[in-house]
């Protein structure tokens, strides 16, 4: 399917931890489409992830950076533009983490230190990243910045807990920074609201497997997988979407606009008689 639509484009891809990671699939597709890019992940991923193997496979530079640290991001951006030989055409923010979720702390009893960390890693980091890109004037004209989000930003999914707040903030930052980036630098900023996907971060959410099946049944097209999400990212990095900005784009097989699915109704028919 590759059409070289990212030929000559330079970018940075955050968050490819292992083969299941959405960012991993994005890196494979960007490579197929002719882009050159830097891979980045948290320093701890050097121990627990396989980012290095992917970097070797794709012959991509790997620069570790903790998204909560300004100096790490400054270093990442200046090294990336130097190593890639110019300004960036695309950046993928595919980062999320919640200690409250990981430790299964109920929503009504959230630990606020953890919550600070969640908001910092999963949402404020998007602003911090864009601020560094802005200050370094590191984005090329008509460049594209994408963050990944989930529909719990708009509707309640109880097990998603405080990550719902993080995603609301992330989407708002995309709109607000998108305005400035559009107006002053002709750069677009969007979020993709992705189906539940079997990854390390996804599977950390309570009841994930049941919820995955529910969403799959609710969506007329079924759940969107990581590979199709990667295709969508490629389209947003390409020149075919130059006028799309400040949007939250649902990539969920139709889940977001389905009220009820016939398949699920069948489960309740006997009970109503
Ligand atoms: P993943 O666990 O493979 O990716 C999360 C990444 O965040 C990892 O690579 C991890 O190392 C990185 N990270 C965590 N803390 C960091 C820090 N301080 N600095 C730098 N990187 C850090 O899981 P997945 O699912 O691929 O997640 C990617 C994005 O997609 C996240 O924003 C997630 O919320 C979002 N998403 C995931 C869905 C799912 O069901 N898996 C659904 C909708 C959105």
* pLDDT the model gives residue 204: 85
Q: What CATH superfamily is the domain 10-272?
A: NAD(P)-binding Rossmann-like Domain (3.40.50.720)
Average of per-residue pLDDT values in the chain: 96
Pocket test for ligand 1, best of 201, 202, 211 (most atoms within 8 A of CB): 201
Six-digit token pair at 17?
A: 């931890």
* pLDDT the model gives residue 129: 99
201 lines ligand 1 (CB under 6 A): yes
* pLDDT the model gives residue 149: 98
Given the DSSP bridges, would you call strands 139-149 and 248-251 parallel, antiparallel or unpaired? unpaired
- The atom number, within ligand 1, closest to the CA of 67 reads 19
- The atom number, within ligand 1, closest to the CA of 198 reads 41
* pLDDT the model gives residue 273: 59
* pLDDT the model gives residue 1: 73
- The atom number, within ligand 1, closest to the CA of 200 reads 2
CA of 243 to the centre of ligand 1 (A): 27
Pocket test for ligand 1, best of 24, 69, 202, 214 (most atoms within 8 A of CB): 202
pLDDT digits (tens, 9 = 90+) for 67-103: 999 999 999 999 999 999 999 999 999 999 999 999 9
The answer to whether the beta carbons of residues 25 and 229 sit under 8 Å apart is yes
pTM, entire model: 0.98
Per-residue pLDDT of the chain (273 residues), as tens digits, is: 789 999 999 999 999 999 999 999 999 999 999 999 999 999 999 999 999 999 999 999 999 999 999 999 999 999 999 999 999 999 999 999 999 999 999 999 999 999 999 999 999 999 999 999 999 999 999 999 999 999 999 999 999 999 999 999 999 999 999 999 999 999 999 999 999 999 988 888 888 888 899 999 999 999 999 999 999 999 999 999 999 999 999 999 999 999 999 989 988 887 765
- Residue among 132, 127, 165 nearest 147 (CA): 127
* pLDDT the model gives residue 116: 98
Sequential DSSP letters for 69-100: -HHHHHHHHHHHHHHHTS-EEEEEE-----HH
CA pair distance 22, 224, nearest whole angstrom: 11
Percent of the chain whose predicted confidence (pLDDT) is above 90: 91
171 lines ligand 1 (CB under 6 A): no
Six-digit token pair at 1?
A: 């399917």
* pLDDT the model gives residue 206: 83
């Amino acid at each position: 399917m590759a059409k070289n639509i990212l030929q000559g484009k330079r970018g940075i891809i955050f968050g490819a931890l292992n083969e299941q990671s959405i960012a991993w699939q994005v890196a494979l597709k960007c490579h197929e489409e002719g882009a050159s890019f830097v891979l980045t992940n948290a320093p701890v991923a050097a121990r627990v992830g396989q980012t290095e193997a992917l970097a070797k496979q794709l012959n991509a530079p790997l620069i570790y950076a903790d998204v909560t640290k300004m100096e790490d991001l400054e270093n990442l951006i200046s090294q990336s533009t130097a190593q890639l030989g110019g300004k960036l055409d695309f950046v993928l923010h595919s980062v999320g983490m919640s200690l409250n979720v990981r430790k299964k702390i109920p929503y009504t009893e959230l630990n606020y230190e953890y919550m600070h960390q969640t908001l910092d890693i999963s949402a404020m980091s998007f602003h911090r990243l864009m601020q560094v890109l802005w200050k370094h004037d590191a984005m090329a004209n008509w460049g594209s910045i994408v963050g990944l989000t989930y529909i719990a930003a708009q509707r309640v999914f109880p097990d998603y807990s405080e990550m719902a707040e993080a995603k609301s903030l992330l989407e708002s930052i995309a709109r607000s920074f998108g305005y400035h980036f559009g107006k002053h630098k002709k750069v677009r900023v969007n979020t993709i609201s992705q189906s539940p996907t079997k990854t390390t971060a996804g599977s950390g959410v309570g009841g994930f497997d049941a919820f995955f099946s529910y969403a799959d049944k609710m969506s007329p097209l079924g759940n969107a997988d990581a590979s199709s999400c990667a295709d969508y990212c490629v389209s947003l990095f390409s020149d075919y979407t130059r006028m799309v900005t400040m949007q939250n784009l649902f990539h969920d097989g139709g889940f977001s606009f389905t009220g009820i699915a016939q398949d699920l109704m069948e489960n309740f028919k006997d009970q109503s008689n």
